[in-house]
Amino acid sequence: MKPGLELPPLERLIALPDMIAYAGATWDWHRLHYDPSYLAPRGLDRPVVDGQVFGALLAEQVQDWIGTSGVLRSLTFRFKSLVHAGETVRCLGVVQAVDGRLVTVEHRVEAEGRIAVAPASSTVELR
């Protein structure tokens, strides 16, 4: 475990049915995520992905990487640009620091070449 180590990227297509499933699973029925009659007057031509799903994807990326060797302790992320239904996102991560049993990972999420989420970071406590 050394700074500079890259985590396997996590890539996922977020289609409208995925967004509907996420809205149901999180009890968040905001019309921004599926309703054309809400989107059109606001100048949006496609449903907007709920930003919190990127938290879930970054957690998945970290846990798939660390497995049973560590526990995810924190996750911080800021939104840079909207992601729309039908776009593919790519979660990236690089180990930034190792301090005893605490590993800090710097992340970003890209969507079709744009930065969707950054800065972002996670910390993992090694077992």
Residues 59-88 close enough to bind another protein by CB under 8 A: 59-60, 63-64, 68, 71-79
> From the list 29, 97, 115, 126, which residue makes contact with another protein (rule: CB under 8 A)?
29
The first and second tokens of residue 91, run together, are 């979660």
CB 9 → another protein: shortest distance, Å?
15
Q: State which of positions 7-26 bind another protein (CB under 8 A).
A: 12, 18, 21-22, 24-26
Question: From CA 21, how far away is CA 100, in angstroms rounded?
Answer: 40
Q: Report the SS3 class of residue 100.
A: coil
Q: Which of 7, 39, 49, 53 is close enough to bind another protein by CB under 8 A?
A: 53
Contacts of 50 (CB under 8 A, 6+ apart): 19, 22, 23, 26, 28, 30, 33
Residues near another protein, by CB under 8 A: 12, 18, 21-22, 24-32, 35, 38, 51-53, 55-57, 59-60, 63-64, 68, 71-79
